[in-house]
Amino acid sequence: MSIKRVNFNEYAPEVLDQLKKGAFLTVKDGDEVNTMTIGWGSVSVIWNKPIFMVAVRYSRHTYNLIENAKEFTVNIPLNNDLKKELAYCGTKSGRDLDKFAEYNLTLIDGQKISTPVIGECELHYECKVVYQQAMEPATLNDEIKNRFYKNNDYHVLYFGEILDTYLLEK
């Protein structure tokens, strides 16, 4: 397997399209590694830095891990059909089981951070948290609040400086 470095925004249309279908947000805290499926996020430039913003609910196991780790990877399947794996990782908790073993997902060491990437995905972002913001419910549009936050399980937004972006090629 070889690494081909790419510009952080080179695959932006593919990333935004795939996010609607799901991508893997992976976090490592000490010896514990977990991944979850995300369907929301953004790739942008803020503070003159390339940024990948992800949203994690307080109730998720990943929340505690990312709070400690302050880094994450986003793993995007471009060509591999990982629908089953994305569905599974979006509905099961890493508190209860090893998602990687359940679906034979391969962990590969990160290039710039300690959090690994998922080998079955082609495109990877390695990010260091440079800012986080808890959502403020009082400032949220009522339509969005009623649709996505009926249980008051809000997100924390994590702005990760993209330290490396690459394709894993077989």
Give the CATH number of the domain where residue 65 resides: 2.30.110.10
| Domain containing residue 161 | 2-169
Instruction: Tell me the H-state helices in the chain.
Output: 12-21, 61-69, 83-91, 99-102, 142-148
Residue whose tokens read 């805290």: 29
Smallest CA-to-CA distance from 131 within 166, 159, 162 is with 159
Query: How many domains would you assign to the chain?
Result: 1
User: Which pLDDT value is given to residue 72?
Assistant: 98
The per-residue pLDDT string of the chain (170 residues; one tens digit each, 9 = 90 and over) reads: 799 999 999 999 999 999 999 999 999 999 999 999 999 999 999 999 999 999 999 999 899 999 999 999 999 999 888 988 787 767 666 676 777 777 889 999 999 999 999 999 999 999 999 999 999 999 999 999 999 999 999 999 999 999 999 999 87
**pTM metric for this prediction:** 0.94
